[in-house]
Amino acid sequence: MDENAFMQTLGAVNPRPCAFEKAILSRRCVCALVERRYVAEREMVACKLPAARETCSELLGLLRQNSAFALHLAHVTPPLSYAQEVKVQCGGLLGLQHEIDGADAVSNVIGLVEFACQKFGSFEELPYSKIVQSVVNFQVRKRPD
């Protein structure tokens, strides 16, 4: 199959991919606004609300920027490797959840994102030094041999 044609088809089927898609697909986090879609044998997730997707995208961008040093990068230039992106998404969300209520699981990404924004006033005010520790400590699952 032509890779370019496949990517165009993915864009048509999923015009609003979830910002935290890798965290959702890895089954480490759950979100109330996720809509699962399938093309061929590939699973993807879309966000039901464009405004929520923009909010999550803003947070993800700040998580990437603040995690650059922890990922041994001089500056973040997307796309990150798969492992780096999973560490940022999963570690970042889990670290944020832990800072808010001490929980070790994210049961609703959009609820967490909205609550964090309300609690801290803005995404710029989040305790990134503590959240990034979770990014550093997050272990990406190894592929079975």
pLDDT at 141: 78
Q: What is the pLDDT of residues 99-132, one digit of tens each?
A: 999 999 999 999 999 999 999 999 999 999 999 9
Tell which residue, 86, 88, 69, 65, has the closest CA to residue 77.
65
Asked whether 45 and 34 are in contact (CB, 8 A), the reply is: yes
Mean pLDDT of the chain: 91
Q: What is the pLDDT of residues 2-34, one digit of tens each?
A: 777 766 776 777 788 999 999 999 999 999 999
Residue 58 predicted with pLDDT over 70 = yes
Residue percentage of the chain with pLDDT more than 70: 95
Domain ranges of the chain: 16-137
Provide the whole-model pTM. Answer: 0.89
Residue 92 Cα distances to 14, 50, 75, 84, 130, angstroms:
24, 22, 17, 11, 10
Q: Cα–chain-centroid distance for residue 125?
A: 19
Distance CA 106, CA 89 (A): 11
